[in-house]
Amino acid sequence: MSHYHEFFINGQWVQPKGENTIDVINPATEQVAANIALGNKEDVDLAVEAARNAFATFSQTTREERIALLERVMEVFMKRLPDVAEAISIEMGAPAKLSKTAQAPSGIGHFSAALDALKEFKFEEEMGTTLVVKEPIGVCGLITPWNWPMNQMTCKVAPALATGCTMVLKPSEVAPLSALILAEILEEAGVPPGVFNLVNGDGPTVGAAMSSHPGIDMMSFTGSTAAGRMVMKSGADTIKRVALELGGKSANILLDDVDFEKMVGHAVMSCMNNTGQSCNAPTRLLVPNSRMDEVAAIAKAVAAKVKAGDPNASDTVIGPVASENQWKKIQGLIKDGMEEGARLVTGGPDRPEGLETGFYVKPTVFSHVTNDMHIAREEIFGPVLSIIGYEDEEDAVRIANDTVYGLSGYVSSGNLDRARNVARRIRTGMVHLNGAPLDNKAPFGGYKESGIGREWGHYGFEDFLEVKSIFGYNAK
């Protein structure tokens, strides 16, 4: 990879129009891993122009042509998997094992899910004498975060390609290295010039220019709820469609009939995965008040096994958080929890012992948390678990829904029908029953301030499509 100071526009690696750059910091070492160019409005204009020109032809490609394109992309992607995994570990600190088994392969997973959906998707439907057609929406602006960089990029790029859209991608400036590799993958796979364009930059400059650009027909954004509001506001003047996948504060309800030893352990590890940097992480563990002390003891024992350390070490469970700003935010919220009266079970402020360098956070568990505390209401985005007590099933549902977020939820019970019933009352876009994993063919997204729209699989096609009614198409 040698394109740190270039953008991918109209099928070519080109020099940026400005001279600003930014260092990419390896969060494990706090050293500069790379220096990349930052774009400006002029770079965005050129990328949008290329995408608009390419849309005229790419939007008319056949299903079969796009199937063949996605198959080529997947073939090249498989060759570059080791490079993608290495880049992700360097740019955002994911342990090498996680990068190799989950972070990098998630890209293949989304291209595969889009390919399967494309083969079966109904782009046309007859309704009496009317033909209803689903057509590509146009030029799509894609803005993605740093926490699961390849996952978030490909769950937008894959459906955009599958539906015949063209696009401009702005990855996070915190973790842009894997995006440069994705551009190389798409180039080698033969994506036509102008269909995919990459401009690196920050939110206030490149992100704002994209969101407000009259040549962009829809914006797909993943990130914080605060930044999502700005994307919506910027897009309002041009009445463009805006799809948002935002924050979460997901409740994990353990009903009173579960195997607590097993499910508390699962809850702790699920929260700590990816160093807690997942929007759908089960960060609020809801347990019967009568079992609070027992749960806290189990959680403490499990968290003690969550080793923070060098992403390349074989015994590392969690790496650093992605940036110094993120580290400072997490430290502040941990201190808030202590000051507001939550009981610190394990972990706490400052770095883990022996890790003076790197943005490492102690695996932290609080018990006796009430749902009005900051640590129960704000998305911490770090390895911090809040254990909240409830009186009965109705109280558990009430607490779970008492949040501005509605991304995900988790319910465990020894009685599946009971878990199903509770799941139906949780106001979230997703619910996991008894530890069930994600399904990348099922819709991903949330209610309330967790976003608008859905991603993944054939549900992820909808935001990239317009619906046209052709009346009298089948007139007799």
User: Any idea which residues carry the catalytic annotation?
Assistant: 245
Residue pair 253/412 in contact (Cβ under 8 Å)? The answer is: yes
What phi and psi values does residue 340 have, to the nearest 5 degrees?
Answer: -85, 0
List, in sequence order, every residue forming a beta bridge with 432; answer none if it has no partner.
410
Q: Which residue has the tokens 């580290």?
A: 327
Nearest to 177 by CA among 292, 60, 99, 258: 99
Neighbours of 86 (CB within 10 A): 18
Strand spans (E) along 225-358: 241-245, 251-254, 284-288, 343-346
Nearest to 152 by CA among 404, 440, 431, 442: 440
H or E element that contains 128: none
Whole-angstrom distance, CA of residue 231 vs CA of residue 228:
5
Nearest to 12 by CA among 194, 210, 141: 194
Rounded to an integer, what distance in angstroms lies between the CA atom of residue 80 and that of residue 99? 13
Phi then psi for residue 28, to 5 deg, are: -80, -30
Give the C-alpha separation, 205 to 193, whole Å: 25
Q: 243: which strand partners?
A: 220
- Cβ-count burial of 357 within 10 angstroms (0-12 exposed, 13-18 middle, 19+ buried)? exposed
Contact 279, 244 (CB under 8 A): no
